Structure 1
Amino acid sequence: MILHAKKRSLPAEIVCNPEIMGGVPTIRGTRIPVEMILVHLRAGYSRVDIFNHYPSLPLDGIEAAIAWAEETIGPGWRDHPAAA
């Protein structure tokens, strides 16, 4: 599957807005919860699989989710259970 380049002027960023998904951390400009990206990564999905599942995900969205996880959860985020 070929990934189509998405034109973005700003880097992907994690935001918490109470008016979007009840304040759950999401990728800015989407309704994609960061935790869903992390769940897919923990389960071993490839980046291509994740992009196919979330076509609105910016190309740097996975890296933003990983950076957020490392800062918020810590370097062992892959072993951390999903949020309840």
Structure 2
Amino acid sequence: MKDAVLLFSGFLGGLFFGYITAILAFFVWQLIKEGFGDPKQVAIPAIFLLGIFGTALVYLAAVVIESWPVLLGAAITFTNGARPLFKQEE
């Protein structure tokens, strides 16, 4: 019973992590695009913000990959959460 509760709580945590990962990935992608578009105007703020959001994204991805229930939950919500964010670009 204890193992089932741990797997279920890991899956629920993965659902939450998926949305956070989608938001961080969106911020990082927008900063990279902005830096390529006008590098002289946003160089220092973009590097500072990439240091914050990029590091958080890498750490979150490492935590998510460690456990398969968390990875499964994160994959479900990442695909649902990232689709509307990245669709705005098109």
- TMscore range, shorter length: 0.3 to 0.5
Larger Rg, first or second structure (1 or 2)? 2
**Structure 1 or 2: more strand by fraction:** 1
**Structure 1 or 2: more helix by fraction:** 2
TM-score when normalising by structure 1: 0.32
